[in-house]
């Protein structure tokens, strides 16, 4: 007979692993399913310095610690991508690429991925000058020159934040205007250390061990522009991965799962935590907060079933 877990958690990033820790400490059987690798986006960060009580730690080490804690508490783990969820007679049936699983409750913690740019050198310098999160990594570039690519609200907010930290911020957009709120645009235009250039397409990121130069092509004049910078921030959007769950959750226009403040979805017994849900801020701290709530609500749901 197939094992029926109390909780199946989809995703082994900060939200998924924290959910597992909370559920196991409450005495519930837990299976974590992860389609790729442990840790999610944060695992690629060379330094995490905004996690309370830890001055500095690599993303990989932080996630290894969380994984070890979850498994030491007795959580099971398997590599599989969940393709479909169905709730039948009070039980959740999960269809994976490699197997099928059954649980009394489910927590979706699939996170999201940053939208990248297919230009030479971008992938090579991730963690060594190329970043997708100014909130996470901006402080590493204090009094240095950086470049930011993006034209919507997140990019504008990042640029404003970086202008308070960095010596010079070059803001480059692919189109001929910004698509964010005007109040943010006007605030950015007033910053003396910000230089804005439109109609630029990234061609290459260059450097030895770390970023030293970013090269663009003007899409109208085809002129090549080069910036000598220490950091490149890419803020052109994120991609959630919730398309396999549309029968059991509601998604917003961007594909994020709609949930209550307590992480409830539209399906009883199904919860969501972390970057994959609709929210204002996507950080390790907020993912962990979501996870504590989601797991606590799942435990409460399971106890009521008895």
Given 6, 80, 112, 136, the catalytic residue: 136
Given 6, 80, 112, 137, the catalytic residue: 137
42-67 pLDDT, tens digit each: 787 767 888 899 998 888 899 999 99
For helices 153-163 and 182-189, give the axis angle rounded to 10 degrees.
30
Note the pTM of the prediction, 2 decimals.
0.79
Query: Exposed e or buried b for every residue in 197-210, given b needs 16+ CB within 10 A?
Result: ebbbebbebbbeee
Structural domains counted in the chain = 2
Please answer whether residues 287 and 15 qualify as being in contact, where contact means their C-beta atoms are separated by less than 8 angstroms. Answer: yes
Q: Which residues pair with 103 in a beta bridge?
A: 5, 92
109 and 142 together in one domain = no
Active site residue 133: yes
Active site residue 250: no
Given 6, 80, 112, 133, the catalytic residue: 133
159 and 246 together in one domain = no
Active site residue 209: no
Domain region containing 75: 4-113+238-305
The number of beta carbons lying within 10 Å of the beta carbon of residue 10 is: 29
18 and 65 together in one domain = yes
Q: What is the CATH number of the domain that holds 67?
A: 3.50.50.60
79-116 pLDDT, tens digit each: 999 999 999 999 999 999 999 999 999 999 999 888 88
Q: Which among 100, 92, 93, 108 has a CA at the least distance from the CA of 305?
A: 92
226-277 pLDDT, tens digit each: 999 999 999 998 899 999 999 999 999 999 999 999 999 999 999 999 999 9
């Amino acid at each position: 007979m197939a094992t029926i877990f109390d909780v199946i958690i989809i995703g082994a990033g900060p939200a998924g692993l924290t959910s597992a820790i909370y559920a196991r400490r409450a005495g519930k059987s837990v299976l974590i399913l992860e389609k790729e690798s442990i840790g999610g986006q944060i695992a690629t960060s060379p330094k995490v310095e905004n996690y309370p009580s830890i001055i500095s730690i690599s993303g990989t080490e932080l996630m290894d610690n969380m994984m070890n804690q979850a498994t030491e508490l007795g959580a099971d783990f398997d590599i599989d991508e969940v393709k479909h969820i169905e709730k039948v007679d009070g039980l959740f049936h999960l269809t994976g690429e490699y197997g099928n699983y059954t649980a009394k409750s489910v927590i979706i913690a699939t996170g999201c991925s940053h939208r990248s740019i297919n230009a030479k050198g971008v992938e090579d310098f991730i963690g060594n000058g190329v970043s997708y999160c100014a909130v996470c990594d901006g402080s590493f570039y204090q009094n240095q020159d950086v470049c930011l690519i993006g034209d919507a609200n997140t990019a504008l907010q990042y640029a404003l934040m970086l202008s308070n930290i960095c010596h010079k911020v070059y803001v480059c957009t692919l189109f001929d205007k910004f698509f964010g709120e005007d109040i943010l645009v006007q605030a950015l235009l007033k910053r003396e250390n910000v230089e804005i250039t439109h109609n630029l397409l990234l061609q290459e990121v260059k450097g030895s061990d770390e970023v030293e130069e970013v090269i663009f092509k003007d899409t109208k004049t085809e002129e090549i522009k080069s910036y000598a910078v220490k950091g490149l921030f890419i803020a052109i959007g994120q991609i959630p991965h919730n398309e396999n769950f549309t029968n059991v959750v509601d998604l917003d226009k961007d594909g994020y799962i709609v949930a209550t403040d307590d992480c409830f979805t539209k399906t009883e017994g199904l919860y969501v935590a972390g970057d994959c849900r609709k929210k204002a801020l996507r950080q390790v701290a907020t993912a962990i907060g979501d996870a504590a709530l989601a797991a606590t609500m799942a435990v409460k749901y399971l106890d009521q079933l008895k």
